[in-house]
C-alpha cells in the first residue's frame, strides 16, 4: 500500500499491505526493484509472504524507489513503512518511524485493526458495531460493519474472548491498519470506548511553535452525548448490507433519509420511514433487476488439483487454472479477470478447454472471478457490477460460489448453468480435462 504524504507529487510511502483480515505481519520474500531504480505505477515492486500465500505487490505511483528499510526475509507489521517512491533517486528525507506502541491504559488482548479490502484502499468507514462492549464473542461472530468505496462488509472477530475496548465510533473514517478494538482473554472489569482520533496507533501531533489567537466562539447549544453523525465525514451513506439489499429490491433511495435529516448509520429499523418518504415522492425510479445465486461445494478439490497440475503439466499459475475452470463453465471462449486483494490478472481462455492454452491478455473481461478463499469472509452481497461476478469463499471443509449479475448481462438459465458447472469443477477439477 502507498500513501501520498504531501500535496502535488511529493513522496509516496510504501507500507506492508494487509492481505487477509487475520494478518498481523508479512515477510519480505524479495525486492523486485533496486534502491534508486525508476519504477512506474503498476510495476511489481516486492514479493510478500503470509501464512496463506505469496503475492507480488505493485507500485501505486511512479518515481524512484528510495529509503528501503526492510530486508529480504524480514517480518514486517501490517501498515509499517518499508520504503518510499520519490521524485528523484537521491531524495534523502529520513523515513518516518514505525507507529508507536499501544497506550498502557488499554486492556491487554488481541488488537483488531481496520482491514484492507483492496490494494488501493487507505481507510474504511466503521458503519456500526455488531457486538455490545464487554460482551463475549467467538472467532466467527461478526464484530463490526465497514464501508469502503466498493462495498459494505461484515468483519468477523477472528479470535475468541471478550470485547474489552472499542477504539472507533460509528461513522468514523479509520486508516487501514489502525486498531479499532481489543479482544481480551478474560472478561474486562472496565471496558474502554474511544473515538478513532484517540486510538493509540494514531500518533499525536506536536503543538505549533507559534499560537494564533482563537476567534470568539458564538454561543451554540450543547451537542447530545454519543449522538450518531447526520452525514458521514467521507460523504458516503452509511447503511447495513441488509437494509441496502431491501432498499434495492424495493426501488428505494437511501438519500431520502439523508435529506430528511435522519442520523446515520441506517439499519432495518429505518426501512419503514424510508418507504413512507419514498411513497410521498412522485414517480420513484424502479430498481434494476439483479440476479444472485449461490452454490456450495462439499469439498475443496482445487488446492490438490493445482499441485497436481504443477507436478504433472508444469502449470504453476493457479490464477490461470481458476480462469480456465471458469471459462469452461461458461461453455465458450472468454476473457476472465481473476481478482484477489485488489489485484487483477486478465486471462484469455480458449473454447478448447486446454489449460495449457490459457494466456494473459489485456482485453476487457467477460467475467470477474473474485477469489476470497484466504479471507475470513463467508457471505458476499455486493451487487451487480459492469460484468458478471463469481465470488469463491471458504465454506467449512469445502467452498461456496456466489454469482452476482444483472438480468441484462446474463439470463437465469445461463446463470444457473454457470454456477452449477463452476461449483462442480471446483469440487472435482479433473472433470475439466474430460
Q: What is the pLDDT of residues 43-55, one digit of tens each?
A: 988 888 887 777 8
Every domain of the chain with CATH number 2.40.50.100 lies at 2-86, 110-198
* Cα atoms found within 13 Å of the Cα of residue 162, Cβ hemisphere only: 15
Using the predicted structure, report yes or no on whether residue 419 has a pLDDT greater than 80.
yes
Give me the CATH topology for the region 291-433: Chloramphenicol Acetyltransferase (3.30.559)
Q: Which strands make up the sheet holding 75-77, listed edge to edge?
A: 54-58, 44-49, 25-31, 75-77
For residue 340, give the C-alpha cell.
Answer: 484477489
Contact (Cβ atoms closer than 8 angstroms) between residue 389 and residue 405: yes
193-226 confidence digits (pLDDT tens): 888 765 554 434 344 444 444 454 544 444 433 3
Please determine, looking at this structure, whether the domain spanning 110-198 carries the CATH number 2.40.50.100: yes
pLDDT of residue 160: 94
How would residue 5 be classed by pLDDT, with cut points 50, 70 and 90? Answer: very low
pLDDT of residue 434: 56
Cell numbers linked to 113: 485493526
CA gap 406, 293 in Å, rounded: 12
pLDDT at 185 over 90: yes
The whole-angstrom separation of Cα 410 and Cα 35 is: 48
Specify the pLDDT at position 215. Answer: 52
Burial category of 417 from C-beta neighbours within 10 Å (exposed 0-12, middle 13-18, buried 19 and up): middle
Residue with cell 461472530: 141
3-state helix/strand/coil string of the chain: CEEECCCCCCCEEEECCCCCCCCCEEEEEEECCCCCCEECCCCEEEEEECCCCEEEEECCCCEEEECCCCCCCCEEECCCEEEEEECCCCCCCCCCCCCCCCCCCCCCCEEEECCCCCCCCCEEEEEEECCCCCCEECCCCEEEEEECCCCEEEEECCCCEEEEEECCCCCCEEECCCEEEEEECCCCCCCEECCHHHCCCCCCCCCCCCCCCCCCCCCCCCCCCCCCCCCCCCCCCCECHHHHHHHHHHCCCCHHHHHCCCCCCECHHHHHHHHHHHHHCCCCCCCCCEEEEEEEECCCCHHHHHHHHHHHHCCCCHHHHHHHHHHHHHCCCEEEEEEECCEEEEEEECCCCCHHHCEECCCCCCEEEEEECCCCCCCCCCCCCCCCEEEEEEECCEEEEEEEEECCCCCHHHHHHHHHHHHHHHHCHHHHHC
The rounded mean pLDDT for the chain is 80
Give the model's pLDDT for residue 21.
67
Model confidence at 102: pLDDT above 80:
no
The values of phi and psi at residue 56, to 5°, are: -85, 140
pLDDT tens, position by position, 316-353: 998 999 998 998 888 888 999 999 877 889 999 998 87
pLDDT-derived band at 357 (thresholds 50, 70, 90) equals confident
**CA 165 – CA 186 distance, rounded (Å):** 12
Residue reference for cell 485488489 = 342
Q: What is the mean pLDDT of residues 261-286?
A: 76
Q: Between 1.20.950.20, 2.40.50.100, 3.40.1710.10, 3.40.50.2020, what CATH number should domain 2-86 receive?
A: 2.40.50.100
Query: Does the pLDDT at position 230 exceed 50?
Result: no
pLDDT single digits (tens) 381-415 = 887 788 999 999 998 889 999 999 988 888 888 99
In the chain, list all ranges with CATH 3.30.559.10: 291-433
Residue pLDDT, tens place only, 157-179: 889 999 999 988 888 888 888 88
C-alpha cell at 343: 489485484
What is the value of pTM for the model shown? 0.37
Average pLDDT of the segment spanning 362-374:
90
Give me the percent of the chain exceeding a pLDDT of 90.
19
pLDDT of residue 94: 52
123-129 and 152-156 beta bridge pairing: unpaired
Q: How far apart are CA 308 and CA 325, in angstroms?
A: 15
Query: In the predicted model, what is the mean pLDDT of residues 417-422?
Result: 91
Q: What angle do CA 427, 432, 434 make, to 5 degrees?
A: 120
pLDDT of residue 162: 93
Count CA atoms within 13 Å of residue 99 on its CB side. 21
Confidence (pLDDT) at 119: 65
Across 10-31, average pLDDT = 80
Of 48, 77, 45, the residue nearest 61 (C-alpha): 45
Q: At what angle do helices 318-330 and 412-427 cross, to 10 degrees?
A: 140
At 75, list the grid cell.
517480518
- CB atoms near residue 169 (< 10 Å): 19
Contacts of 98 (CB under 8 A, 6+ apart): 77, 80, 81
Give the residue from 256, 258, 253, 254 showing the smallest Cα distance to 230: 258
Question: 135: how many CB neighbours lie within 10 A of its CB?
Answer: 11
Which range among 181-185, 351-355, 373-377 has the greatest average pLDDT? 181-185
The pLDDT, as a whole number, for residue 263 is: 84
Side-chain-side CA neighbours of 411 within 13 Å: the count stands at 2
Cα separation of 319 and 5, whole Å? 34
Average pLDDT of the residues in 277-304: 76
Amino acid at each position: 500500500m502507498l500513501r501520498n504524504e504531501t500535496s502535488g507529487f511529493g513522496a509516496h510511502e510504501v507500507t506492508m499491505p494487509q492481505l487477509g483480515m487475520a494478518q498481523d505481519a508479512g515477510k519480505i520474500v524479495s525486492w523486485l526493484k533496486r534502491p534508486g531504480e525508476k519504477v512506474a505505477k503498476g510495476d511489481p515492486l516486492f514479493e510478500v509472504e503470509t501464512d496463506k500465500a505469496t503475492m507480488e505487490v505493485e507500485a501505486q505511483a511512479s518515481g524512484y524507489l528510495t529509503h528501503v528499510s526492510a530486508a529480504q526475509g524480514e517480518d514486517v507489521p501490517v501498515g509499517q513503512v518499508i520504503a518510499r517512491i520519490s521524485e528523484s533517486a537521491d531524495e534523502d528525507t529520513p523515513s518516518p518511524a514505525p507507529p508507536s506502541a499501544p497506550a498502557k491504559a488499554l486492556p491487554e488482548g488481541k488488537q483488531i485493526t481496520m482491514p484492507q479490502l483492496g490494494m488501493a484502499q487507505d481507510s474504511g468507514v466503521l458503519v456500526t458495531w455488531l457486538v455490545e462492549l464487554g460482551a463475549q464473542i467467538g472467532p466467527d461472530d461478526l464484530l463490526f460493519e465497514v464501508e469502503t468505496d466498493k462495498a459494505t462488509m461484515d468483519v468477523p472477530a477472528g479470535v475468541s474472548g471478550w470485547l474489552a475496548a472499542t477504539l472507533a465510533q460509528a461513522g468514523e473514517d479509520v486508516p487501514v491498519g489502525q486498531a479499532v478494538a481489543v479482544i481480551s482473554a478474560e472478561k474486562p472489569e472496565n471496558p474502554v470506548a474511544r473515538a478513532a482520533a484517540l486510538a493509540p496507533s494514531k500518533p499525536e501531533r506536536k503543538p505549533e511553535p507559534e499560537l494564533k489567537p482563537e476567534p470568539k466562539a458564538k454561543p451554540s447549544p450543547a451537542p447530545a452525548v454519543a449522538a450518531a453523525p447526520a452525514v458521514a465525514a467521507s460523504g458516503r451513506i452509511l447503511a447495513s448490507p441488509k437494509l441496502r439489499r431491501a432498499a434495492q429490491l424495493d426501488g428505494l433511495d437511501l438519500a431520502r433519509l439523508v435529506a430528511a435529516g435522519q442520523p446515520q448509520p441506517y439499519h432495518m429499523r429505518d426501512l419503514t420511514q424510508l418507504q413512507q418518504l419514498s411513497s410521498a415522492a412522485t414517480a420513484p425510479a424502479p430498481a434494476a433487476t439483479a440476479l444472485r445465486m449461490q452454490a456450495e461445494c462439499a469439498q475443496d478439490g482445487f488446492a490438490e488439483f493445482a499441485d497436481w497440475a504443477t507436478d504433472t503439466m508444469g502449470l504453476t499459475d493457479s490464477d490461470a487454472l481458476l480462469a480456465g475452470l471458469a471459462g469452461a463453465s461458461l461453455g465458450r471462449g472468454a476473457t476472465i479477470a481473476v481478482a484477489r486483494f485488489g489485484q487483477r490478472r486478465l486471462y484469455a481462455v480458449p473454447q478448447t478447454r486446454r489449460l495449457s492454452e490459457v494466456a494473459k491478455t489485456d482485453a476487457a473481461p467477460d467475467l470477474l472471478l473474485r477469489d476470497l478463499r484466504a479471507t475470513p469472509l463467508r457471505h458476499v452481497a455486493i451487487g451487480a457490477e459492469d460484468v458478471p461476478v463469481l465470488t469463491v469463499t471458504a465454506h467449512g471443509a469445502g467452498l461456496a460460489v456466489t454469482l452476482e449479475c444483472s438480468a441484462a448481462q446474463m439470463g437465469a438459465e445461463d446463470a444457473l448453468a454457470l454456477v452449477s458447472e463452476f461449483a462442480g469443477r471446483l469440487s472435482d477439477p479433473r472433470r475439466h480435462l474430460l
